[in-house]
Amino acid sequence: MHRRFIQQKRFQSSSTKNLIPIRTSLKGAALLQQPVLNKGSAFSREEREVFQVDGHIPYDVHSLEKQMVRAYAQFKRQPSNILKHAFLASLRDQNQVLFYALVSNRLKEMLPVLYTPTVGEAVSQYSDLFRRPIGCFLSLPTAHSMKEQLQSHANAAFRYKYPPGMKNHFLDQDRPFDIVVVTDSEGILGIGDQGVGGISISTSKAALYVAGAGVDPNRILSVVLDVGTDNHALFANPLYMGYKHVRTRGVAYDHFVHQFMMNIKELFPGALVHFEDFGLNNAARLLETYKPVLPCFNDDIEGTGAVALAATMSAIGVTKSNLADQRIVVFGAGTAGMGIANQIRDAMVEIDGLTLEEANSKFWCIDKDGLLLKSNPKLQGSQHDYARDDEEVRDWNREIQEQPNLRLLDVVKAVKPTMLVGCSTNARAFNEEVIRTMAEHVERPIIFPMSNPTSLVEVDPADANEWTDGRALIATGSPFPPAKNPITGKDYFIAEANNALIYPGLGLGTIASRSSKMSKGMILAGVRALASVSPALEDPDAPLLPDLAGVRKVSLQVAAAVVKQAMEEGVANINIKKDDDAIIEHIKVGMWDPVYRPLEYEPEDSNGYSSK
């Protein structure tokens, strides 16, 4: 039996009036230790008496709003971002509603702490900072009991149960989880293999589904697949908590992942699997393998590509050009770089009618060995699609004549790109000569230094703005302050092409449509919805993407576009009208808000929780 509580509609206020109560048998200290039910100082006088909370907390009753004031002051007093991250994690573990209320109201400020760049530090120090396990840890040595481990998490999950009038709603399903965020920790945020510490990536991504799109936090399962690690620093750390073994690869790895995916399909049918930070050798391969089997999504490939495509569509809206007109240099041909190229290429095919080969020819991709060429024996996955003919580049000038590989400046001089994308984590690779050379041939150069964290970004936006005389259209993967236009003196606000603008809405739309897949068409529909709310469409000097502070509204628009596309493709499993108002209302009803619901006592059942 699942632990359950009831919600009838979406509420905008923290008032408990008209809210259907949660029933529980927990009392006193046991109640305070349950983060889903704990209200701290916000327990009402009646609740304190009924649930024997008096004596366990101070006398005065505080509102959620007052609790948020206190929590924010505590957050601000933390002397470093990693300690702020630890504070937020501790708050989440104590009081779920207060944590999400605080983060949702200050998401733009707290996102760099909750997620990139700070989460990279939290991941690398996971075993040293460990306090309490959050999420699901599936380790190779205990694979024989994987199904039971997942079922244990399902048994402990809270789940909304809607009244009879809500039948066929997307939350009215016999499964405890709608989204499973999973990593194998091999390709973490430019810092590589981090073993069991990758669970912090999964939990941070899950938190953004909640704060950014109103997905119920109790219907998201965060998972790390611990198959060992090749990180020698982790082996040397006596406090390391993961599987101390070289990273498992090949058939054994594939079997472990397949076992996981089939268990998800059986135990949580229809749940969306969100792949996060898998290594280059596995990310695209696993996505391709399991896309036809169950709803799945790779944020590094599809999410990064989707938000970059949205920024690109906004940029060409400013330049009044087409996708097919672009000459795109991608610097960093790994998972993220290939994901961006694939998304933009597929949009060229879908929107501009190019053939796949024609669209591929619009890209010049560079990895650590230089421009991808067909003669390169090291090509992997999507890199084959974009490798150039050796004959094409035979007569190109080289920055270093005796150097056989074509470097970034060589490619920029020869190609004269309209768009430059960085996913290399090669700090300051887009130097002044590269940017000025590009700007000589393009009126509004499109420059996307997407690498995280900020210390590894390919170019500071202020420099790119300066070197292009304020003509560049810029989006970055991390937040940056405004850049001063060197000609007009006007501030140019830098668009943050953060995946948080797109993936929460894509996920919400997929589960809201009860879709059997997340198709390319659904992702493109979400991208178009995001691009349609670009401030740059109203003001060419405004950011290419909306502000993260309004991500929840953006996610609703993205989700609505995804639901509509799923219905048109015939992969949705809902029975509503295919008009915008009906779709928006359908989604709104199921969005979770961080508000305190009244508690009612019920004698203990097998789990300690029940519902009417």
Q: Is 405 annotated as a binding residue?
A: no
pLDDT at 159: 58
Same domain, 154 and 58: no
CB 307 within 8 A of CB 498: yes
The pLDDT-based confidence of 510 (bands split at 50, 70, 90) is: very high
CB 251 within 8 A of CB 589: no
- How far is 156 from 176, CA to CA, in rounded Å? 9
Residue 319 in domain: no
The 3-state DSSP class for residue 602 equals coil
State the pairing for strand pair 483-484/491-492. Answer: antiparallel
> Which token pair is 349?
């095919």
Q: Give yes or no for residue 13 having a pLDDT over 90.
A: no
Q: Which of 494, 516, 540 is the last residue of a domain?
A: 494
pLDDT at 20: 72
pLDDT at 404: 62
The pLDDT-based confidence of 606 (bands split at 50, 70, 90) is: very low
Q: What is the mean pLDDT of residues 26-37?
A: 95
Q: Is 568 annotated as a binding residue?
A: no
Same domain, 201 and 53: no
Among 39, 84, 205, 517, the active-site one is 205
Among 100, 115, 160, 386, the active-site one is 115
- How far is 500 from 299, CA to CA, in rounded Å? 10
> Which token pair is 472?
């560049």
Residue 51 in domain: yes
The pLDDT-based confidence of 339 (bands split at 50, 70, 90) is: very high
Residue 423 in domain: yes
Same domain, 490 and 390: yes
Q: Is 105 annotated as a binding residue?
A: no
Q: Is 342 annotated as a binding residue?
A: no
- How far is 387 from 371, CA to CA, in rounded Å? 8
Same domain, 145 and 282: yes
CB 98 within 8 A of CB 35: no
- How far is 590 from 586, CA to CA, in rounded Å? 7
Q: Which of 19-28, 308-317, 525-534 is predicted least confidently?
A: 19-28
The pLDDT-based confidence of 478 (bands split at 50, 70, 90) is: confident
The pLDDT-based confidence of 5 (bands split at 50, 70, 90) is: very low
Q: For residue range 47-103, list pLDDT tens digits in order.
A: 999 999 999 999 999 999 999 999 999 999 999 999 999 999 999 999 999 999 999
CATH code of 267's domain: 3.40.50.10380
Residue 554 in domain: no
CB 309 within 8 A of CB 340: yes
Q: Give yes or no for residue 605 having a pLDDT over 70.
A: no
State the pairing for strand pair 363-367/328-331. Answer: parallel
Give a three-class secondary structure readout of 454-468.
HHHCCCCHHHHHHHC
Q: Is 498 annotated as a binding residue?
A: yes
pLDDT at 609: 46
Same domain, 170 and 103: no
The reported pTM is: 0.91
Q: For residue range 541-558, list pLDDT tens digits in order.
A: 899 999 999 999 999 999
Q: For residue range 203-245, list pLDDT tens digits in order.
A: 999 999 999 999 999 999 999 999 999 999 999 999 999 999 9
Q: Is 100 among the residues known to form the active site?
A: no
Q: Give yes or no for residue 135 having a pLDDT over 70.
A: yes
- With residue 179 as reference, give the H or E element that holds it: strand 179-183
Task: Please give the residue range of the domain that contains residue 34.
Answer: 1-114
pLDDT at 161: 46
Same domain, 137 and 263: yes
Residue 176 in domain: yes
Q: Give yes or no for residue 600 having a pLDDT over 60.
A: yes
Residue 567 in domain: no
Q: Is 115 among the residues known to form the active site?
A: yes
Q: Which of 494, 511, 541 is the last residue of a domain?
A: 494
Q: What's the chain's average pLDDT? A: 91
Same domain, 143 and 272: yes
Same domain, 98 and 161: no
Write the DSSP string, 459-503.
S-HHHHHHHTTT--EEEESS----EE-TTT--EEPPEE--GGGTH
CATH code of 420's domain: 3.40.50.720
Q: What is the mean pLDDT of residues 403-430?
A: 93
Same domain, 214 and 81: no
Same domain, 105 and 15: yes
Q: How many domains does the chain have?
A: 3
Same domain, 145 and 287: yes
Q: For residue range 142-194, list pLDDT tens digits in order.
A: 999 999 999 999 998 865 444 445 545 566 567 889 999 999 999 987 789 99
Residue 80 in domain: yes
Q: What is the mean pLDDT of residues 461-468?
A: 98
Instruction: Provide CB contacts within 8 A for 395, sequence distance 6+.
Output: none
Same domain, 26 and 175: no
- With residue 367 as reference, give the H or E element that holds it: strand 363-367
CA dihedral sign of residues 291, 155, 217, 515: positive
Q: Give yes or no for residue 4 having a pLDDT over 50.
A: no
